């Protein structure tokens, strides 16, 4: 596994990024940029493990820090700054690695901001990978974060734990109806917001590392289908179980 660290500008500020590559011969599958969640940086073990698992399946993976995290502040930036950072990350990756097939997404907040950017004008991506989409704040199911999703023009892969307090698969599934062809939901039975399974589920041998391996396989399959690698993408709103 090769890692390449670099920096890019966001207005007058700068932040850091890391590219994960597992062998130069496999780079034609595209690049996936992942934004971190609200509470932990790109160097958190969860982000690193997920990036490595995906890169091992032929996608270049790039992670980056939002500006507040780069500055070691606890409070996330305001949405316009988060979106500007995402757009700068996309521009930096395209400038550095070329204009090949590009996927965006991330964990929780990082994925949600990616969908907001993809819903806007002037941003074209091959697909989105959303790891624990924060459908609503915990305990507030009426405060939905879905108004912009119908404006996203690319297929989306939602990977959601069944115990996620930010919204489980059954809550999320109705909002996927009518989304771009290829959009689908991959549910992790017993998984929480970080996809970790309950102790009762772990007794069957399913560790977080093994869950991440299965998630990475689904992401690689989604990326291949989204770019026509195995036939035309199919609409799929009902959750598949992992």
Q: Tens digits of per-residue pLDDT, 45-69?
A: 999 999 999 999 999 999 999 999 9
Go through the chain and tell me how many residues it has.
242
Asked if pLDDT for residue 24 goes beyond 70, the answer is: no
Q: Would the pLDDT of 233 be above 60? A: no
Residue 94: pLDDT band with limits 50, 70, 90: very high
Predicted model pTM: 0.91
Confidence of residue 227 (pLDDT cuts 50, 70, 90): confident
> Where are the domains positioned within the chain?
2-241
Closest CA to 41 of 64, 11, 59, 8: 64
How high is the pLDDT of residue 241?
62
The CATH superfamily assigned to 2-241 is Alpha/Beta hydrolase fold, catalytic domain (3.40.50.1820)
More confident residue, 169 or 25: 169
Mean pLDDT value across the chain = 91
The span from the CA of 105 to the CA of 51, in Å, is 12
How far apart CA 158 and CA 155 sit, in angstroms, is 10
Sheet holding 102-107, edge to edge: 2-10, 13-21, 60-64, 31-35, 102-107, 127-131, 156-161, 184-188, 240-241
Rounded to an integer, the average pLDDT of 186-195 is: 96
Residue 43 CB contacts under 8 Å (≥ 6 apart), including other chains: 18
pLDDT tens digits, 108-160: 999 999 999 999 999 999 999 999 999 999 999 999 999 999 999 999 999 99
pLDDT band at 99 (very low <50, low <70, confident <90, very high): confident
């Amino acid at each position: 596994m090769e890692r390449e660290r670099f920096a890019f500008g966001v207005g007058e500020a700068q932040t850091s990024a890391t590219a994960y590559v597992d062998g130069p011969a496999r780079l034609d599958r595209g690049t996936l940029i992942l934004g971190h969640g609200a509470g932990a940086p790109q160097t958190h073990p969860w982000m690193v493990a997920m990036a490595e698992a995906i890169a091992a399946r032929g996608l270049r993976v790039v992670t980056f820090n939002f500006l507040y995290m780069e500055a070691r502040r606890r409070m996330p930036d305001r949405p316009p700054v988060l979106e500007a950072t995402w757009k700068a990350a996309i521009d930096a990756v395209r400038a550095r690695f070329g204009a090949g097939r590009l996927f965006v997404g991330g964990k929780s907040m990082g994925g949600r901001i990616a969908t907001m950017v993809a819903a806007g004008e002037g941003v074209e991506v091959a697909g989105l990978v959303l790891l624990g989409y924060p459908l609503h704040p915990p305990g507030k199911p009426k405060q939905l974060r879905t108004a912009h999703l119908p404006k996203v023009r690319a297929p989306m892969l939602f990977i959601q734990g069944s115990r996620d307090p930010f919204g489980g698969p059954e809550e999320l599934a109705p909002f996927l109806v009518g989304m771009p062809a290829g959009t689908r939901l991959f549910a992790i039975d017993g998984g929480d917001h970080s996809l970790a399974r309950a102790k009762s589920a772990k007794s069957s041998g399913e560790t977080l590392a093994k869950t991440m391996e299965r998630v990475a396989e689904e992401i690689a399959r989604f990326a291949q289908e989204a770019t026509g690698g195995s036939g035309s993408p199919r609409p799929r709103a009902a959750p598949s179980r992992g």
